[in-house]
């Protein structure tokens, strides 16, 4: 497969670079600076991007470019620190900038800006974030752009196909950043637009069949996007050699068990086993109010249930997980060091070592939006692939305080009505996550001519990109009014509804 490598020098924008490349239908991987040259040679690498990073090139232990990269004959684009590292390696001079640049700047192209700036106007807005600057270019390079504070805003050596930009073309604030990246990808490297979901499915299924052979694979199917898409892809590759275990722990949303059964029944060839473990989980959680204790109890009990069920299945050799590419990237060090651990997931944490199974992660090359796209291509219903994130411990962390079947039922019904109404209002896909929370307090109310003393439900809806930061979503007043009326009138045991307007930070998205 045609591949572009992104050398990770610790930039906070690495995933953005990868997303811009993938959006152009070109496959890419993020790799550490010490990636073995032989590993690169063994792939069909047609271009390399050197990322930015927080270090100074003269700083002790700052990441450096392996000189062997330049001997591969592959086109190279250095971004910010990547440009400075190229200059340093090739005999140029990097120094502290007299005037640091952070944020928007006007990029002015040279008289002959070269192929990298094809289709870019002479003046445009770019995004800067640097304290060092290239003071002198290496021999053979030409300046192709500047800003008011940086006389070397970009340079190139077209004969060796080496390019550098001091700004960040990957961020949305760089007006023609995507054009610059695409000029490098297509006009310099010669990539084809071959990264499509159909191609991915074909290649991934072939790889899975080659690895698994006639052995069986077990997967903990939670009903979330990642595990559902992993199950669909594995099913296409190996059919009924895939055994999916869905554990109903009593902490699921309304009708979730039936939704998962319907989503897979008749559509996919797999062995789906549904385990009713509601009594066991709720018994262990009785009287527990501390959220961390809840999480630990649920995690341990899940492993016990999963392990018991797996022991009944003969000839299982592989454990599948819905690990995504951000999980892989986040497990590396600041400068892209080798992965120390596989990020554990709530539904299979600790199982690979315990069960001595080989791990298979069919989605580990994909971002979240690509995973959703893959699910749609495979035929999963939108109710699964487009759903909001759901916490591993389920409703246990949305029932604040003690968990009882009665309190879970109140929350389940309130949450269902909340989601129904935001869907009806056309808001669901505009919100990153929405849910109801049952508070551990009761309030005085009046229903008819009678005094009530019943539960309070809090509603939470946020916008976000990755969950790291979030802002509350402004649901129109008339929609909130309808949601509140339905919950109070239709859910027995609730007489008050409140709306959470906290951002993250300082609050978190979930309440526990």
Catalytic residues: 80, 168, 170
What pairs with residue 29 in β-bridges? 5
Measured over all CA atoms, what is the biggest interatomic distance in the chain, rounded to whole angstroms?
Answer: 88
Distance of CA 157 to the CA centre of its chain: 36
- Print burial letters for 273-310: b (CB count within 10 Å at least 16), e (below 16): beeebbebbbebbeebeebeebbebbbebbbebbeebb
Please give the Cα distance from 235 to 254 (Å, whole number). 26
Please give the Cα distance from 69 to 373 (Å, whole number). 34
Which of 413, 398, 422, 409 shows the shortest CA–CA distance to 489?
413
**420 Cβ neighbours under 8 A, 6+ residues apart:** none
- Pairing assessment for the beta strands 216-220 and 433-447 based on DSSP bridges: unpaired
Please give the Cα distance from 158 to 321 (Å, whole number). 44
Which of 131, 40, 118 shows the shortest CA–CA distance to 84?
131
Please give the Cα distance from 198 to 200 (Å, whole number). 5
**198 Cβ neighbours under 8 A, 6+ residues apart:** 377
Please give the Cα distance from 485 to 499 (Å, whole number). 13
């Amino acid at each position: 497969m045609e591949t572009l490598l992104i050398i990770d020098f610790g930039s906070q924008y690495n995933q953005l670079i990868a997303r811009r490349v993938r959006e152009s239908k070109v496959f890419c991987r993020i790799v550490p600076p010490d990636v073995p040259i032989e590993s690169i040679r063994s792939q069909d690498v047609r271009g390399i991007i050197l990322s930015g990073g927080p270090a100074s090139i003269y700083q002790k232990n700052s990441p450096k470019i392996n000189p062997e990269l330049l001997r591969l004959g592959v086109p190279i684009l250095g971004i910010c620190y990547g440009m400075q590292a190229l200059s340093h390696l090739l005999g140029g001079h990097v120094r502290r900038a007299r005037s640091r640049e952070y944020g928007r700047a006007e990029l002015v192209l040279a008289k002959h800006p070269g192929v990298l700036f094809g289709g870019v106007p002479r003046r445009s807005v770019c995004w800067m974030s640097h304290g060092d600057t290239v003071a002198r270019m290496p021999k053979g390079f030409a300046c192709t752009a500047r800003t008011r504070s940086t006389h070397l805003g970009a340079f190139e050596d077209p004969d060796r196909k080496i390019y550098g930009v001091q700004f960040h073309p990957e961020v949305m604030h760089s007006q023609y950043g995507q054009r610059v990246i695409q000029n490098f990808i297509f006009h310099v490297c010669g990539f084809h637009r071959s990264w499509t979901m159909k191609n991915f499915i074909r290649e991934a299924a072939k790889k899975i069949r080659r690895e698994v052979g006639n052995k069986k694979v077990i997967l903990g199917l939670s009903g979330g996007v990642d595990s559902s898409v992993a199950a669909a892809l594995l099913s296409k590759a190996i059919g009924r050699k895939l055994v999916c275990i869905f554990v109903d722990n009593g902490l699921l949303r309304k009708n979730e068990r039936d939704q998962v059964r319907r989503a897979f029944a008749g559509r996919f060839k797999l062995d789906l086993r549904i385990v009713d473990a509601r009594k066991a989980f709720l018994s262990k959680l009785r009287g527990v109010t501390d959220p961390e204790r809840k999480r630990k109890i649920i995690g341990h009990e899940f492993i016990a249930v999963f392990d018991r069920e797996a022991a009944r299945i003969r000839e299982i050799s592989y454990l599948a997980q819905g690990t995504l590419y951000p999980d892989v990237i986040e497990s590396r060090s600041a400068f892209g060091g080798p992965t120390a651990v596989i990020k554990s997931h709530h539904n299979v944490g600790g199982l690979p070592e315990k069960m001595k199974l080989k791990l298979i992660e069919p989605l580990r090359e994909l971002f979240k939006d690509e995973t959703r796209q893959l699910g749609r291509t495979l035929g999963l219903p939108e109710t699964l692939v487009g759903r909001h994130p759901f916490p591993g411990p389920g409703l246990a962390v949305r029932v604040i305080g003690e968990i009882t079947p009665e309190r879970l039922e109140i929350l389940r019904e309130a949450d269902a009505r909340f989601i129904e109404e935001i869907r009806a209002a056309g808001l669901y896909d505009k919100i990153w996550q929405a849910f109801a929370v049952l508070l551990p307090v009761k309030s005085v109310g009046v229903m008819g001519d009678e005094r009530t003393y019943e539960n309070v439900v809090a509603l939470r809806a946020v916008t976000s990109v990755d969950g790291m930061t979030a802002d509350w979503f402004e649901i129109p007043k008339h929609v909130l009014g309808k949601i509140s009326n339905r919950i109070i009138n239709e859910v027995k045991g609730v007489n008050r509804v409140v709306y959470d307007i906290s951002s993250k930070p300082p609050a978190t998205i979930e309440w526990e």
